[in-house]
Structure 1
Amino acid sequence: MDRRPALLILDLINELVHPDGKYAAEGFCEQVERRGVLERAATAIERARLAGVPVVYVVVGFSPGYADLPLGSPLLAEAKHGERLVLGTWGTEVHDALKPADGEPIVAKRRVNPFLGTHLDLLLRNLDVNTLLLTGVTTDLVVLSTAREGHDRDYAIEVLEDATATSDQETQDAALKLIARTALVTTVDQALPAA
């Protein structure tokens, strides 16, 4: 198969990965820093741009007032109580280390799965992509969900494990084990070698 990849930057937003973000105390920042995720994702972005590989950003967030928040979700409903993840605020902006270049698309999602209720699939099809290179947080939620849904939409999936993180190493390892059932678990250097 002719490999035509896009690099997806999943939820690497201030609220989740910046030390001043409202989720900082939940372990994401510590793991992101310990694993060097922002640095590895920045390397992936730089190499993708040099190679002509499209870079697509996905951010999670909700409208002010939370009318589009799934109140029945134990995971997402707490965002309203903590006044977190409001689209258009600093919290839902991509971390400064990974800022999108002019023209690079940003897809806002309101669920864990970035394909649900968004134009992500249409965007990827229009870019003639058949392979998704996944980076981001959290590995056990958005990365796993994207890998599974992308697989079922007939994309080849490559998870750049050194550019992913979650709240702790045990959960990271378990998520990668599950992901490996439908995707290739690889690294930034393997998926996007230096020129």
Structure 2
Amino acid sequence: MSDSIYLVLDMENDLVHADGPNGKAAYGDQVRGRNILVNTRRALDKARAAGVLIGFVRVGFSPDYRECPPNSPIFSGARKNGIFKLGEWGTEVHPDLGQQPGDFDIVKHRVSPFYATNLEAILRAKGIKRIYCSGISTNAVVQALVREGHDRDYEMIVLEDGCCGVSAEEHDNAIKGLQRFCRTTNSQDVVFE
């Protein structure tokens, strides 16, 4: 059994689907322009073929937003715009990514996938030592996972062509800031161990 997992971060309809609220805006332009969905699916198929575990991390809140932090600049728009409601289309993983019943589902209420989620229990139960990851946005969830994973002694690998920010500059700056904490590769070159 593999000691690796590939975590796909926040690739949910509200953020990345062409019909989602953010998919119609700047994130959508970056997702399409960088071929994020195609690149992520390529990486997922390679990971599955290598026997690597798959986990989808999703941000979501109860319909009344009880878990949503009231003073958070990054989440303040969720309640106002009625997005990220668990149990609705917007928080489902984009259908092109081919989520399967055996994949792990990690629901988070903050930026970091480690904070108050089942992630650490999954990693420990499965003896994970290496985390591959990609998703959006590079300067939020990807950075949070990489930095915290690094400090918890996981080997961190970012698939750069499966990540984006709201702009190319934001993405590039985030990747530069992560290079001390992880290895970077892409969906073409990645070798899942």
Residue 98 of structure 1 deviates from its aligned partner by: 0.8
Cα RMSD after superposing both structures: 1.2
Aligned-pair distance for 1:10?
0.3
Q: CA deviation at 1:64?
A: 0.7
1:44/1:192 contact within 8 Å kept: no
Instruction: Determine the structure 1 residue equivalent to 2:178.
Output: 179
| Other-structure match for 1:75 | 74
2:17 is the counterpart of 1:18: yes
Is 1:45 aligned to residue 37 of structure 2? no
What is the aligned partner in structure 2 of residue 159 from structure 1?
158
Amino acid at match of 2:149: G
| 1:126 Cα offset (Å) | 1.3
Q: TM-score of the superposition, structure 1-length normalised? A: 0.94
Distance (Å, rounded) in 2 between the aligned partners of 1:185 and 1:47: 16
Matches within 5 A, 1:1-195: 4-192=3-191
8 A contact 1:107–1:118 mirrored in 2: yes
Q: Which runs of 5+ in 1 are unaligned?
A: none
CA deviation map 1:85-106 (0-9, x unaligned): 1011000000000131121111
Q: Detail structure 1 runs of 4+ shifted over 6 Å in the superposition.
A: none
Instruction: For 2:23 and 2:46, locate their aligned partners in 1 and report how far apart those are by CA, in whole Å.
Output: 28
Do 2:3 and 2:126's aligned partners in 1 also have CA atoms closer than 8 Å? no
Alpha-carbon distance in 2 for matches of 1:60, 1:40:
21
Q: Deviations over 1:26-57 (max 9, x none)?
A: 41111111111100110111111111000111
Are the equivalent residues in 2 in contact too, given 1:40–1:162 (CA < 8 A)?
Answer: yes
Measure how far apart 1:178 and its partner are: 0.6
Give the letter for the 1:82 counterpart: N
Pairwise CA distance, 1:176: 0.1
Q: Matched residue of 2:65: which SS?
A: coil
Aligned positions, number: 191
CA distance in 1, matches of 2:24, 2:191: 32
User: Which region of structure 1 is more displaced relative to structure 2, 52-61 or 18-27?
Assistant: 18-27
1:67 deviates by 0.6
TM-score under structure 2 length normalisation = 0.95
Q: Structure 2 unaligned runs (5+)?
A: none
Q: How much does 1:132 deviate?
A: 0.7
Percent identical pairs in the alignment equals 37
2: distance between equivalents of 1:16 and 1:55? 20
